[in-house]
Structure 1
């Protein structure tokens, strides 16, 4: 699984936050007009605040100095109208961005989900589900918040500060220079804060992903936890993760408190110095009281834009980290439609075309090893399943049977060699077409939070009700009629409202509902009782006569469904023949079928077959 340390190490080498955040542009481009409009409205609203000091200057040097109550009331009315207009403009800005940004978040979440569906199985084997969930929820929420507030107010505050300092220098340049003195140290401190906060934000968001994984595993594995009484150990593990996250969040809070304290203190000292210097100038007659009031009002109006720098920088860093985490997944290449060069493709197509249109399923020198495993699981598998034939695949635990079946629908790509369907290399076929030809049922049946009918029809979206009924009959899933709403009954998450055997029968129905040309079954009857298994086998025989099938088998009863049997051993096909032939000629096969000493098991099984 992806580790926090690796991710944090990568974070230390990541590009700048600006370059990272620019990757959001393709998603923002469709709503750019409203975002730019909202930013313009916010700039206008913020700059209205800089008009207040001019009104105050006029009031102090005019009506107040002249003791004119009417002028004071007029000035107060102008200030009130400016305040109302500013509030309306900020409200209008929020209205402008609310709907578009919700759309951006939805589009990014949909793109992530769509991309996850197209990533190879090897990716999902490596990544913790909680890390993926946190990227699709927490990280995208942070990005929406960034686009709604910090992105706009970076521009707004920068414009306000620039305009404000121009006004300050125009009002009294000597006092303006006093307020400019803190700029350089503040820039240095913000740079240091940005680099440290970036690492802390990345660590926190990765820990949220780990915490999400533990919660998900605790919910999905609640039966195991309760069955083995592991409540305490799971709670302790969860508490440890929450402790780590709490420590990281407190570290972030300390960093933010530190930079915010500095950013608030230094400007306050500068304003205090300007106030003392300005008061002296007013006392000496070098500066009017109205000008000093206007200057201080302008300086105070700039307090929030300056003091919010630390907060906005923190949000920007969290958004940059969220963007980086999002694109870590989006940058992973999707499953390739072809895995050979043009020359190899031409040669494969030529050799395939000579094989005829009815060549069945072939494995030719197939080799496969997992990316993180040094040794090959399959090392030169050669096997031919003739059209309309059913072949049982038998082997010891860990021999690679499930891996071999996963290669047929290209859940994994072969490392070397090739697999053909009716003479056509599957590596050169579009996945959609391949998976229309090949249907699969795995040993561990997976159902979704949908109705019984919807789960079965995932095997063939265009199947009608008659096909659905036939598939349920083949799988001996008559229990469906006893459910509260029949085939419309919701089975719940993972289908845990059903028994293991019921889930397996629905998975089998899903595999056969579309009358596939090729059928791959990975020990599909392991969870059934003896009587139900016999009924399913009897119905399944009729289906197998219409298709070319590869069945992983562990029990003699399943093997007897097949026309021939292949023994997988040492990464190769060690023997091929009928059940009786292999019992007589292969000691390993007899041992696997009997679970006893090879010769004894062979004699016993041969006797039972007569």
Structure 2
């Protein structure tokens, strides 16, 4: 995961949480009403001590049982009203704040789809997953309860102290004594807890990544008998997370103990002073009862400060983590308007003019992956791209649909610079089959039709990829669910479906990255025969490692150390270029050496 922009010590909790306002704005009326209802309910609890004062100084002192029963009825009604108002508050915020969480999750998912490939290369999937699940659930809980009660309890404490000072100002001053130490302690706690909360949530993301990789790679884990080492790695991360959670618990226990002890000491002191005043006749028994009852009513608002501050810090950290992703710049979608789409292109194929590329996180001074690529794939031509491992073939093909952005030069499709095209239009023109076929947890038909087209086009595409027979043999045919990553299919079956997906929409430009590597010799021959018919109607760039794939092409370009060193037919390059002959002979795989 990339380094955090700001340390937890430097960031402001309030500033972080204020970034949630655009999501809260649509529900601000109901949320504000719920907060007001909670304030009224909480303040009703402060009326009960006043009723008790009236009971003690009135009916009890006058030995009036009827008055006592009336006072008890008032207390009961106030308690019922308080409970109903709190229930009403929960009803008010439940649905709207669930919709806030859903909106944030939808925005995060939408944004992830629009971020460049370079972002996904840098970020672990588990970190992104934890932001979209754990962090957003934590934020919803914060908005439902702690955010409201930070305000409600603050108002309740303020009103409660006004009531206390009004009842007996000397006792009220005794209870105010712990305020200054509590403020200092809470400030210290907030800074320490922010650091630990951030560490814990990042460790959850790391742990999620390990679990996800272990599940997706379960065949490798079992095949190599690595379950013990994977379990050891998991236990190590889980142990780190456990230690961090214990640090959080210790901090929370410490602040909660201090927040509880200091006010309790002040209450004890006020009780002693108040008792002396009652004995001296300076204070009525009812006033002392009301004073102590008000103090008890304020006990939860005061003691909850530590808990609410902790949840606020965790919510601020979750907000930070959410916006770390949301602040990443999306791919530019290209120029607005339809002029580019309506322009009539000239049939010129694909041109690479001085194209260079360097990965964004490459070390300073390292050579570019591609350097000064000049290449022309003529309209309707199939050009094979051949080179040793690491020469930049896959990177070059990824530049055509702008999965990566060229750092120098330009690429033209039928004379039009791809950087001036809307991405949506570009990716309608260019279809790609990657070396590693990726399928989704969907049906065979849904996976193939991601490339466009209709049911008839899918049938033709499956025939081209020689996939119609094995698809027909599946329990549900094209409606069969292939499972996560398509792992219920063989590697060759997945590759054929990926090839069908690439050709189903009959694209004008086709990029194939070694599309037949997982096929057996007989299936490869059948696919090549059908693919020749498809390639006649398109402009294609094909990454090839085997002579059989190269023979699909009209011409061949040799890529060496990020540069095009030769272009010609297969037979010309075999005759004139030893490196190409070496690559095609299979000696490269056998000897692992380069004749240069």
Per-residue deviation at 1:464?
1.6
Q: Distance in 1 between matches of 2:234 and 2:454?
A: 47
Q: Does 2:403 align with 1:403?
A: no
| 1:602 alignment counterpart | none
| 1:24 alignment counterpart | 20
| 2:37 alignment counterpart | 41
Per-residue deviation at 1:338?
5.0
Please tell me whether the aligned partners of residues 9 and 191 of structure 2 are also in contact (alpha carbons under 8 angstroms).
no
Per-residue deviation at 1:488?
0.4
| 1:309 alignment counterpart | 305
Q: Does 2:84 align with 1:88?
A: yes
Please tell me whether the aligned partners of residues 167 and 287 of structure 2 are also in contact (alpha carbons under 8 angstroms).
yes
| 2:205 alignment counterpart | 209
Which of 205, 215, 228 is equivalent to 1:232?
Answer: 228
Please tell me whether the aligned partners of residues 337 and 428 of structure 1 are also in contact (alpha carbons under 8 angstroms).
no
Q: Distance in 1 between matches of 2:6 and 2:47?
A: 47
| 1:268 alignment counterpart | 264
| 1:498 alignment counterpart | 489
| 2:75 alignment counterpart | 79
| 1:133 alignment counterpart | 129
**SS in structure 1 at match of 2:283:** coil
Please tell me whether the aligned partners of residues 393 and 567 of structure 1 are also in contact (alpha carbons under 8 angstroms).
yes
TM (normalized to structure 2)? Answer: 0.96
Per-residue deviation at 1:66?
1.1
Q: Distance in 2 between matches of 1:138 and 1:12?
A: 19
Unaligned runs of at least 5 residues, structure 2: 590-596
Which of 455, 458, 469 is equivalent to 1:468?
Answer: 458
Q: Does 2:189 align with 1:199?
A: no
Q: Does 2:374 align with 1:382?
A: yes
> What pairs up with 1:272-283 in 2 under 5 angstroms?
272-283=268-279
> What pairs up with 1:442-453 in 2 under 5 angstroms?
442-453=434-445
| 1:567 alignment counterpart | 558
Q: Does 2:176 align with 1:186?
A: no
Q: Does 2:430 align with 1:438?
A: yes
**SS in structure 2 at match of 1:375:** coil
Per-residue deviation at 1:337?
3.4
Please tell me whether the aligned partners of residues 131 and 212 of structure 1 are also in contact (alpha carbons under 8 angstroms).
yes
Please tell me whether the aligned partners of residues 391 and 562 of structure 1 are also in contact (alpha carbons under 8 angstroms).
yes
Deviation string 1:524-545 (CA, Å, 9 cap, x unpaired) is 0000000000110000000000
TM (normalized to structure 1)? Answer: 0.94
Q: Distance in 2 between matches of 1:284 and 1:427?
A: 89
Relative distance call for 1:512 and 1:30 in structure 2 (3 A) is same
| 2:592 alignment counterpart | none
Q: Distance in 2 between matches of 1:404 and 1:596?
A: 25
| 1:415 alignment counterpart | 407
Per-residue deviation at 1:237?
0.3
Q: Distance in 2 between matches of 1:393 and 1:104?
A: 49
Q: Does 2:546 align with 1:550?
A: no
Please tell me whether the aligned partners of residues 523 and 552 of structure 1 are also in contact (alpha carbons under 8 angstroms).
yes
> What pairs up with 1:517-532 in 2 under 5 angstroms?
517-532=508-523
Q: Distance in 2 between matches of 1:521 and 1:94?
A: 56
Measured on the aligned residues, the alpha-carbon RMSD in Å equals: 1.5
Per-residue deviation at 1:11?
2.4
Q: Distance in 1 between matches of 2:348 and 2:42?
A: 75
Deviation string 1:180-216 (CA, Å, 9 cap, x unpaired) is 1110110000000000000000000000000000000
**SS in structure 2 at match of 1:51:** helix
| 2:346 alignment counterpart | 357
Please tell me whether the aligned partners of residues 345 and 416 of structure 2 are also in contact (alpha carbons under 8 angstroms).
no
Which of 274, 279, 285 is equivalent to 2:281?
Answer: 285
Relative distance call for 1:436 and 1:356 in structure 2 (3 A) is closer
Per-residue deviation at 1:70?
1.0
Q: Distance in 2 between matches of 1:269 and 1:356?
A: 84
Please tell me whether the aligned partners of residues 383 and 553 of structure 2 are also in contact (alpha carbons under 8 angstroms).
yes
Relative distance call for 1:20 and 1:303 in structure 2 (3 A) is same
Per-residue deviation at 1:12?
3.4
Deviation string 1:533-560 (CA, Å, 9 cap, x unpaired) is 0110000000000100000000000000
**SS in structure 1 at match of 2:552:** coil
Deviation string 1:130-152 (CA, Å, 9 cap, x unpaired) is 00000000100110011001110
Please tell me whether the aligned partners of residues 337 and 427 of structure 1 are also in contact (alpha carbons under 8 angstroms).
no
Q: Distance in 2 between matches of 1:192 and 1:227?
A: 51
Q: Does 2:88 align with 1:99?
A: no
Which of 125, 137, 141 is equivalent to 1:145?
Answer: 141
Relative distance call for 1:395 and 1:472 in structure 2 (3 A) is same
Please tell me whether the aligned partners of residues 9 and 195 of structure 2 are also in contact (alpha carbons under 8 angstroms).
no
Which of 358, 368, 374 is equivalent to 1:369?
Answer: 358
Q: Does 2:104 align with 1:115?
A: no
